[in-house]
Amino acid sequence: MILSRRRSASAAFAVVDEGSATWERAALLSPVAVPGSAVVRARGERLEKISRREVARPADRFRQVDMRRRQLVLSPQSIPAAEGIDVHVTAVVTVRVGDPVAFAAAAEDPDAEVYLAVQIALRDAVAAVPLDDVLQRRVDLDGVRRAASLAAAGVGLELVAVVLKDASAPRQVALAREEEQVVQITSRTAMERARAEVKATRARLAAAQMLERSPILAGVRLLEALPAGATLKVDAGTLPGLSGTVSGTGTSDDA
């Protein structure tokens, strides 16, 4: 036990360090609760919350309990998804003190109690979900919230929220997934190119069949295909309706 003295305008206190909790001994009056906190008094074996300043006994000890919301950030957890592939997930738990007396008396480290409960429940939640859903953070956290609420209630805390912050696959799995996506995109591109070629081939076949059924149209297409300055000689019978021999020089527009 380490004792140190500090004085204020109204009272003198002796600070007692016991583990992670800090208790004060007041010489005259109990301490004033700071905004967002509550004062818990230990008198003998009894703990109680006090709402106003009272005369302190020599053996009384006091503790300021922070009642504000705070966040517990889980370190990245390596958890196997439904396929057995490990995925790294990080969760954030938001809690606040609901019962300052229970918070001061129930456990040496109340936050650690909730941390452990969330850690265990999160493994069960992630293990039941496919890898793709985990990476997109589509994980049912109801079981995690129930476990966290139960653990929090046992140490004077109230659960506010549980959020899955991040989810990522190991580097080898991430590279394999990227390669798979590249293959899928390439396959789709090749399929679209093949469909376009099939459409073009069908169009050319339809045009050829039309030209075969209409010789006049074939002749017109031939004239249109002539380069500028070309000479065309048409024999009788080559094109229906023409007799004799026709020859000329000109552009395709002249023809």
Tens digit of each residue's pLDDT (9 = 90 or more) over 85-120: 888 899 999 999 999 999 999 888 999 999 999 999
Q: What pLDDT score does 15 carry?
A: 44
Largest CA distance in the chain: 136
Q: What pLDDT score does 29 carry?
A: 85
- How wide is the angle at C-alpha 220 spanned by C-alphas 218 and 226, nearest 5°? 105
Is the whole-model pTM more than 0.75? no
Query: What value does the mean pLDDT take over residues 217-238?
Result: 65
Q: Which residue has the higher pLDDT, 107 or 172?
A: 107
pLDDT at residue 178 greater than cutoff 70: no
Query: What value does the mean pLDDT take over residues 195-223?
Result: 75
pLDDT in tens, 39-74: 999 988 888 998 888 888 888 899 999 999 999 999
pLDDT at residue 135 greater than cutoff 90: no
pLDDT band per the 50, 70, 90 thresholds, residue 19? very low
Q: Which residue has the higher pLDDT, 16 or 135?
A: 135
Q: Three-state secondary structure along the chain? A: CCEEEEECCCCEEEEEEECCEEEEEECCECCCCCCCEEEEEEECCEEEEECCCCECCCCCEEEEEECCCEEEECCCEEEECCCCCEEEEEEEEEEEECCHHHHHHCCCCHHHHHHHHHHHHHHHHHHCCCHHHHHCCCCCCHHHHHHHHHHHHCCCEEEEEEEEEEEECCHHHHHHHHHHHHHHHHHHHHHHHHHHHHHHHHHHHHHHHHHHHCHHHHHHHHHHHCCCCCEEEECCCCCCCCCCCEEEECCCCCC
